[in-house]
Amino acid sequence: MRLLITGFDPFGGQPINPSWEAVNALPDRIGRCQLDKLQIPTVFGAAARRVLARAEETQPDLILSVGQAALRGAITPEQIGINLRRATLADNAGQQPADEPILPGGPDGLFSTLPVPEMARAIQAAGIPGQVSYSAGAFVCNDVLYTLLHHFRGSGTGVGFVHVPLLPQQARPGEASLTLEQMVAGLTAAIEIL
């Protein structure tokens, strides 16, 4: 199976984004999946368009996007994308939408079409903190998840999203983080069951 897997570029003044660091460190093959890795910009609209353009070329069976979620302590497969843009900081193109739909008239929410609870359990079974998340926020990560879920609705192409915590070098004292090795182990375990 062809798995298109994406990570984001750094945003919000951070020098790195753990989502891309982790995706880039994954092996090219995990379980049944051959990985095609793509870095995407933290920009509303443009990020999802980049994924769609690559998917058009390569026709993947599965698409998994990975993003950074500061202050989370676990690797969190996302259950749902919502039709909302609400940004508390500007994206990498200076856009800061306040309460706009991603897709005017579209459904309020769309569930992930990857096996979310099973992925969370597989992460835990690998000894890495893992938990289902019921909100991908309303920033660019949710934008990508919702847009892809809508685009591939009913197509047989599975779409999902996983947030990863900060890396130790990004976290301020007392803030949660996971090491790159933990992120790689957790993502590998989640992909192994796909």
Binding flag, residue 141, ligand PCA (CB under 6 A)? yes
10 sits in the region (left: phi over 0; alpha: psi -120 to 50; else beta) called beta
3-state secondary structure of 183: helix
Neighbours of 193 (CB within 10 A): 15
DSSP 8-state class, residue 71: T
Rounded to the nearest whole angstrom, what is the least distance from the CB of residue 168 to ligand PCA in the complex?
A: 17
Query: 98-137: which residues touch ligand PCA (CB under 6 A)?
Result: 137
Rounded to the nearest whole angstrom, what is the least distance from the CB of residue 121 to ligand PCA in the complex?
A: 23
Please list the active-site residues: 78, 141, 163
Interface stretch with ligand PCA, choices 11-19, 56-64, 103-111, 146-154 (CB under 6 A) = 11-19
Rounded to the nearest whole angstrom, what is the least distance from the CB of residue 156 to ligand PCA in the complex?
A: 27
Q: What are phi and psi of 140, to 5 degrees?
A: -70, -30
Binding flag, residue 6, ligand PCA (CB under 6 A)? no
Q: Which of 55, 64, 110, 140 binds ligand PCA (CB under 6 A)?
A: 140
Binding flag, residue 42, ligand PCA (CB under 6 A)? yes
DSSP 8-state class, residue 156: S
Residue in 124, 134, 118, 121 with CA at minimum distance from that of residue 79: 134
Instruction: Say if CB 51 and CB 65 are below 8 A apart.
Output: yes
Q: Which of 6, 65, 68, 147 binds ligand PCA (CB under 6 A)?
A: 68
Binding flag, residue 17, ligand PCA (CB under 6 A)? yes
